[in-house]
Structure 1
Amino acid sequence: MTLIALAQMRRRPAAFAGLAVALFLAIATVTLFGSLFAAEVTTPASAREPSTGPGLMVIAGAFGEIAVLDAFFVVVNALGFALRQQHRELALLRTVAATPRQVRRLVRVQVCATTLLMSVPGWIAGVAVARRFLAEVRRLGMAAPGVRVPVTPLPMLVASGAALAVGLAASAVAARRISRIAPAAALTASSTEHGRTGAPRLLAGIGAAAGGVLLLRLAATRSAGQVDKAGQAALLASLVLLVAVALTGPFAARFLAGALSVPVRVLAPGAGWLADANLRGYARRLSSAVVPVALLVGLSGTMLTMTSTAEHAANSGATSVTSATDVWLRQAELTLLACFAAVSTLNTLVAVTAERRPEFALLRLVGATRRQLLRMLTVEAMLTTAEGVLLGAVVAGAASAAFSTAVTGSPMPHVPVVAWGFVVAGAALLTVPGILLTGLRAVHGQAAELMGGARD
């Protein structure tokens, strides 16, 4: 199985590109914050000086808890799509007598190999960013001049170990379905979407939503002097709520698709009708595309609104909790989280659209032209963007309201309209061209070849 796994990776490197990028980001992120912790711990007491900010350890902890969770969320999402793109091959292995244990071993080998390939680049990037980050923190007076990133392999080893553990745990869950069902059924299911969202997933989504609500309450009950803690609780709540959205995504996606179906069919009678039927008929696939967009909008919108609310409160004299260092820290955190969310969005949209090649071939065989398919994909991309923006905005609104309650006493945050416009535009620029460019490639070629499952 080891040789087969590696051969599969060499034959179809594109299927593992998204997973490789996600693991690279996860390893680099853990290395970054691990190096900052190591810098604080290994600095002699004589080299430390009182800082004007929260301190390097607090900064690393506050950044790390959100960024690391976000990075691993991206890894799990990318791994799921890497396995989905191999579904047919894994099903064929089951039909030629491969056991469920062998299939799971093959997946584990692929995860281990990808993690090892991304470890060294992730380490290098993580240490480089840690040094640059520490230099900026020292410039702002939040760390002593004598603090340096130490030369130690421990943060790097912890980063690779954590990424590998998350990848293996996710692979065990993702490979369970294909490895447990009968071989013939596995082959049939490789190109279909069937069944309903299971009760365990639904219960997990409800539990995540409950946890997010508790974190929102925790953020809202913080005092104005604890703005950092309120902000971290609100941001963590937004991430937990987005996990709940991911778990219950098919229900939310189907509901929103139904709500948006009437205007879509009126504005685009032909392509709109087909796009709406596709989206509502394949709720799981739609959910997979919508959730990364919601992640991008939800996290970015939460950070932007919280920062604007804190600045507005400081300028109006309601509180003095905002400083130049606070703004810089939030901007740095926003950049990091937006990077993760953008990678997840692109990975997912490309994978979801590329695996629809047989579906596009069938439509062409019954008379649809490439131009008609691209019009259909355009409508689908716009609907996907709209649903992701709506879900992300709801999560960001809840988190920002809790933060605003803690800072100003009012649940009405100060919304930066222009910045939100850039967030929505960025989501659209990632989603629509990503779907259309991948779709343009997927519909290229002879329909009969695509229908037979030929893949690049």
Structure 2
Amino acid sequence: MPALAFRSVLRHRASTLATGVIAVIGTAMVVAMAALLATGLTAGERSEFLTLFPMIVGGWIVVIVVFAMASTVGVTLEGRTDEFTGLRLIGAEPGQIRRLIVFETALVSIAAAVPGAALGVLLGGAAMAGIRAGGVVDPSTPYASGVLAPFVGAAVVISASVVAGILAGRRPARGSVLGAPGEGREQARRGMRRVLAALVVFAGAGTAAATLASGPADLLATATTGPACILLAVGACLFAPELILLAGMATRGTAASAWLAARNLDAAPERVRPLVTFLTLFVGVAAGTLGMQGIENAAGSAMPDADLIATINYLVVGLLAGFMAVALVNNLVAAVLRRRAEFGMMRLIGSTPKQTQRMLLREVAAATVVSVLAGGAAALVSTIPYSVVKTGAPWAALVPVPYLAAAAVGALLALVVAALAGRRAVPGARGGRRRAVAAPA
């Protein structure tokens, strides 16, 4: 099995690159947190920040890395349905298919461990420099990542990739050899996903409500609002298929591109699901964390460690939002390029390159709108209790700047990437003579 997985990784270069990018960035972020933790364990004055911060943020980073890896692997596996069907027809069992996917994912993560660990040590050093500049620790505190921290961080991401491979490999392994839809099984999975999403949303709302039990100068307010923001954003993105259904309803129109976009969103929601997933996470986490800091600034913080909290918030935004932006671009490019054969077929039946591109941009625009609204709602629900505790009223949470900033960056990123990837994937979009039908990746 390892030899077959190695040959498969070499054969599927595009999917390997897509997964490898996430693995490298994820490893870098986890190693950076591990390096800060190692520094904190050897530091003296105020070392509690250098221990608590990487432990808390690092835990959430691992969760999001697993989520991003599973989504990326899932997107790349969508284009290999015929391959897995062929393996099943020649006698491969579902367990063997799952092990093949897990081995492939693990091999990519192992290959990404070295550059990711090196990048993580540098990222940890940059974070340490920012922490020193913010006055959170003594300027003379040395950055001591050690040798063990990079190994531990890389091992955590490799383990996370194995979990992601197990999660992503369940669907292709369970697929029917004859290609039967298996509606009953699909309904069961859909029901389980909705129950899980509802539980995550409920947990996030409960965590946000727990903020009301804290005082204006209590660190508990921040300690509950941050996780609540992430939980609500994760819960919202788990409702991605329902959000895509709303996007399909919103994009209906009389133009050919609008009609085709609506039909695509209804018939094949998995094409834009990665976009909805990561854009919802990006907007939710970025708007929620920036909103928290805006409320803190408006309240004229009564906490003795206001600078410390501000540093934590901005570092969280920079790390998590940056990683999710990379995951968004990576998954969106992979999803668009995987549609080359579809776009080529549209060219054969009379669709012009501009019509196909407009169809793609309408799909992305509709998905972007519902993602921004869902992420913004998650951020708002998580910050209202924080505003009540800090200012005595919910109005500070309604300041639109954090939401507009996160939405503008996310929407611009999604539309620009979709337009550029569409130019590459749509036959004839870049001018010149090209084949009408491109071979699937």
Residue in 1 aligned with 2:106?
Answer: 112
Within-5 A mapping of 1:52-451? 55-144=49-138, 147-150=141-144, 152-185=146-179, 195-196=186-187, 197-226=189-218, 228-258=219-249, 260-261=250-251, 264-265=252-253, 269-314=255-300, 319=302, 323-444=306-427, 445-447=434-436, 449-450=437-438
Counterpart residue type for residue 230 of structure 1: A
Q: Distance in 2 between matches of 1:67 and 1:349?
A: 21
What runs of 5+ residues in structure 2 fail to find an aligned partner?
428-433
Sequence identity (%): 25
Counterpart residue type for residue 10 of structure 1: L
Size of the aligned set, in residue pairs, is 432
Assess, with a 3 A threshold, how the Cα gap between structure 1 residues 151 and 181 changes in structure 2: closer, same or farther. Answer: closer
After superposition, what is the alpha-carbon deviation per residue over 1:185-226, rounded to whole angstroms, capped at 9, x for unaligned? 2xx77xx9x944522222211211221111111223321112
Contact 2:237 2:280 in 1 (8 A): no
Query: 3-state SS of the aligned residue for 1:205?
Result: helix
Query: 3-state SS of the aligned residue for 1:20?
Result: helix
Contact 1:296 1:341 in 2 (8 A): yes
Q: CA deviation at 1:378?
A: 1.8
Counterpart residue type for residue 85 of structure 2: A
Q: CA deviation at 1:34?
A: 1.4
Counterpart residue type for residue 249 of structure 1: A
Q: CA deviation at 1:255?
A: 3.0
Contact 2:2 2:103 in 1 (8 A): yes
What runs of 5+ residues in structure 1 fail to find an aligned partner?
none
Q: CA deviation at 1:416?
A: 4.9
Moved more, 391-400 or 249-258: 249-258
Assess, with a 3 A threshold, how the Cα gap between structure 1 residues 3 and 64 changes in structure 2: closer, same or farther. Answer: closer
Assess, with a 3 A threshold, how the Cα gap between structure 1 residues 31 and 247 changes in structure 2: closer, same or farther. Answer: same
Q: CA deviation at 1:2?
A: 2.7
Assess, with a 3 A threshold, how the Cα gap between structure 1 residues 6 and 375 changes in structure 2: closer, same or farther. Answer: same
Contact 1:224 1:321 in 2 (8 A): no
TM-score by length of 1: 0.87
TM-score by length of 2: 0.89
Contact 1:308 1:415 in 2 (8 A): no
After superposition, what is the alpha-carbon deviation per residue over 1:112-132, rounded to whole angstroms, capped at 9, x for unaligned? 211111111111111122223
